[in-house]
């Protein structure tokens, strides 16, 4: 768990509830400045973490479960609340299988009849798809057998977990460490596995992971 990930989760939770960070703090009964960016580092430059009490109050004020907040910390959106039934069905294949021909069109959207299906919470992207993780390079966040939902329409930023397909047919789930005008650097969350660097023209697509079923 990283300092920036926890604060990003709080900002995301505020946005999902139509609030600013100050508005979220106010709703939780906290000082309105409690979550201000200026409060996230001390005068000496050391990281300041939100207290467990303040996180607890925020979760209670927004009706958010702990596992939903944990999903935000790992980079996925909080699960929709108050819904007893899954929102829709989307295509599903294994991560290793995704490297084969015939599963994606030239735009990186799922095509063909070889896909299975899975029921998931509401995902606004009509081209979203699901992949079953294989291997251990993304442990402990994503384990072998976990299912991740991928959105081609979601914007990708540094620190996001992504699925990348190279023009050679390699498909991998990684963390975006850096992107320049010419290259992309990807990292494995498991330190026992290497990172990768690709020229942009070596990639067919890079899509953001927006949810994980664990």
Of the two residues 206 and 210, the one the predictor is more confident about is 206
End-to-end Cα distance, the chain = 17
CB neighbour list of residue 54: distance below 8 Å, 6 or more residues apart: 25, 28, 30, 34
% of the chain residues with pLDDT over 70: 91
Into which CATH architecture does domain 89-213 fall?
Ribbon (2.10)
Choosing among 1.10.260.40, 3.40.50.10860, 3.50.50.60, 1.10.10.10, the CATH entry for 3-73 is 1.10.260.40
Report the distance separating Cα 13 and Cα 77, nearest Å: 8
Look up residue 95 and give its two tokens: 């991560």
Domain-wise residue ranges, the chain = 3-73, 89-213
3-state SS, residue 89: strand
Q: Mean pLDDT over residues 121-133, rounded?
A: 82
> How far is it, in rounded angstroms, from Cα 208 to Cα 161?
6
Q: Is the pLDDT of residue 70 over 70?
A: yes
Confidence band of 86 (pLDDT split at 50, 70, 90) = very low
CB atoms within 10 A of CB 80: 15
156-198: pLDDT as tens digits: 888 888 999 999 888 888 999 999 999 999 998 888 888 999 9
Q: Among 74-78, 102-106, 207-211, whose mean pLDDT is lowest?
A: 74-78
């Amino acid at each position: 768990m990283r300092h920036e990930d926890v604060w990003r989760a709080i900002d995301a939770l505020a946005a999902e509830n139509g609030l600013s960070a100050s508005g979220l703090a106010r709703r939780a009964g906290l000082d309105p400045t409690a979550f201000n960016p200026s409060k996230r580092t001390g005068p000496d430059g050391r990281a300041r973490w939100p207290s467990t009490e303040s996180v607890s109050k925020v979760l209670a004020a927004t009706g958010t479960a702990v596992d939903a907040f944990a999903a935000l910390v790992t980079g996925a959106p909080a699960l929709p609340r108050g819904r007893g039934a899954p929102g829709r069905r989307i295509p599903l294949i294994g991560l290793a299988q995704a490297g084969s021909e015939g599963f994606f069109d030239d735009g990186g959207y799922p095509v063909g009849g070889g896909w299975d299906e899975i029921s998931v919470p509401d995902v606004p992207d009509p081209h979203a798809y699901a992949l079953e993780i294989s291997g251990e390079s993304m442990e402990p966040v994503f384990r072998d057998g976990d299912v991740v939902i991928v959105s081609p329409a979601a914007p990708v930023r540094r620190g996001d977990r992504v699925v990348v397909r190279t023009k050679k047919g390699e498909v991998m789930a990684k963390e975006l460490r850096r992107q320049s005008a010419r290259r992309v650097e990807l990292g494995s969350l498991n330190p026992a596995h290497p990172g990768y660097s690709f020229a942009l023209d070596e990639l067919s697509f890079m899509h953001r992971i927006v949810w994980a079923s664990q």
